[in-house]
Each structure stands twice: as C-alpha cells, then as structure tokens.
Amino acid sequence: MTDDQLLRYSRHILLDEIGIEGQERLLAASVLVIGAGGLGSPAALYLASAGVGRIVLVDDDEVDLTNLQRQVMHTTARVGRPKAESGRDALLQINPGIEVTALNERATGERLEELVRAATVVLDCSDNFKTRHAVNRACFRSKVPLVSGAVIRFDGQISVYDPRSAVSPCYSCLFPEDQNFQDAACSTMGVFAPLVGIVGAMQAAEALKLVIGIGNSLAGRLLLLDGRSMEWTSIALSRNPDCPVCR
C-alpha cells in the first residue's frame, strides 16, 4: 500500500475490524454494480470512496433531468450522457486511484454470466424483476454473493443472497418468477429521494463487509423500511426447497 493510500484510507485502517489487511482486500476486490441510477449512485460512490479497487457499472440508460432529484452520481451538465459513463466520471473524481469500467449496455445471458464470474460481490441496483431474477440466477451459478435493494414511493428493502451458504435463500425464494409480480416505475409511482440514498448506502456497507469478511451480513434477513415513519422491519427468510434456482 502506498503512502497516499495509507493516508486516504487511514480512517478505515484505524478500525480494528478492517486495518491494513482489510483495506488491501478492498483494493484487490472487483464489485459489479447493475444499475447506475437511484440506488447505484450512492452505492457506487461509497464503494469508490472506500477504496474498492475495481468497480464495473452496467446501465444502458441516459441521464435525464427527472433523474437528478435522486440519482446523486449525475449532474445537470451530464444530462443526455450514458449513465454508466457519467457515473465513471463521478467515481474517478472522488478516487482517481481505482479502476472504473463503464458498460453502456443491458447485460444478459452469457455476457451477464461473464461479468458476474469476474466479480467479488454483485450489487443489484436495477428497477425491474426481469433483471433481478437474471442477476440472481447468474450469482447462484457462479457462487458470488448478491446484495439486492429496491425502493418505490416511501418504501425500501434490502437483503443479501449468498450462494456460498448452504442455508441462504436466493431472490427467487422470496419472489418466485412464476408469481408474475408487477414492476412499479418511479415515473408513475414516484420515489422519496432520500430513501434511495439510505438503501444504496446500506448496499455498499453490506458489500464492503462481505469483501473484508467482517460482521454478519443480511443473508437470511429482509429489511423493510417505511420512510413515512422511519421504522425498520426485519423478516427472517428461509430457503425454498422447491426453488428452481438454488435447490
């Protein structure tokens, strides 16, 4: 670790649970972030500032004026630019010592599998069930832990699905693909801006813990946040023995 890195990450290094060894694990890690919008913005910003060595941003959308109410990685000057590229610029401004790959695409099939296999941890910051299920399947095939978050209106949720554990459920255990859940779009339902910051920051925290190997992750638990009352509810999750993904 260089003198600059020792200084930059000194507040992490002071923590007994992290220290130099933990920080070096972060610097050696690669985190895949699916979605560079409301959740992906705070999550990626904290991953970058914390010193994750390689961050891969995947998003096929462009920055729109309506995004700026909550997607803090982007600016007015970057309206019209691909979100992945705008996000890369923001992360490198915070920490030029890391590597950021911007993929202006919707990763599916073998391409998604390839990206997941190369990751230490995956963050699902997408906004639709189809993508969430595809990411979940890819993570369980490759045994890569998945940190999943979602926010709509005043409601947020977050959990970790860890295929390295024999008892950890997967996303499909909770939301089976054959249930035909309806996607709720921010453009029609609205979203309370600070909630994506709260949930996205928690996704980053869970990812950092998984990389370093500290604490207990949210695997086997679903946290629900009611932003109107600011009350958290914790629900215990169990693996579905009939789940087609993780059984």
In angstroms, the CA 241 to CA 118 distance is 28
Question: Is 217 part of a structural domain of the chain?
Answer: yes
In angstroms, the CA 102 to CA 40 distance is 13
In angstroms, the CA 156 to CA 153 distance is 8
> What tokens were used for 237?
């999750």
- Average pLDDT (92-100) is 98
* Residue-number span of the structural domain to which 199 is assigned: 3-236
Map tokens 């970790």 to a residue.
Answer: 160
Question: Is 86 part of a structural domain of the chain?
Answer: yes
Identify the pLDDT of residue 181.
62
The residue among 202, 204, 212, 210 whose CA lies nearest residue 13 is 212
- Percentage of the chain beyond pLDDT 70 is 97
Question: Is 244 part of a structural domain of the chain?
Answer: no
Given a cut of 70, whether residue 187 has pLDDT beyond it is no
Question: Is 214 part of a structural domain of the chain?
Answer: yes
Q: What is the pTM of this model?
A: 0.95
Given a cut of 90, whether residue 105 has pLDDT beyond it is yes
Question: Is 53 part of a structural domain of the chain?
Answer: yes
User: The CATH number of the domain where 169 resides is what?
Assistant: 3.40.50.720
188 exposure class (CB count in 10 Å sphere: 0-12, 13-18, 19+): exposed
Question: Is 94 part of a structural domain of the chain?
Answer: yes
- Average pLDDT (204-221) is 97
pLDDT tens digit string along 71-90? 999 999 999 999 999 999 99
Given a cut of 90, whether residue 61 has pLDDT beyond it is yes
Question: Is 197 part of a structural domain of the chain?
Answer: yes
Given a cut of 90, whether residue 19 has pLDDT beyond it is yes
- Average pLDDT (215-241) is 96
Q: How many domains is the chain built from?
A: 1
- Average pLDDT (152-168) is 95
Question: Is 243 part of a structural domain of the chain?
Answer: no
The residue among 121, 100, 117, 143 whose CA lies nearest residue 213 is 121
Active site residues: 186
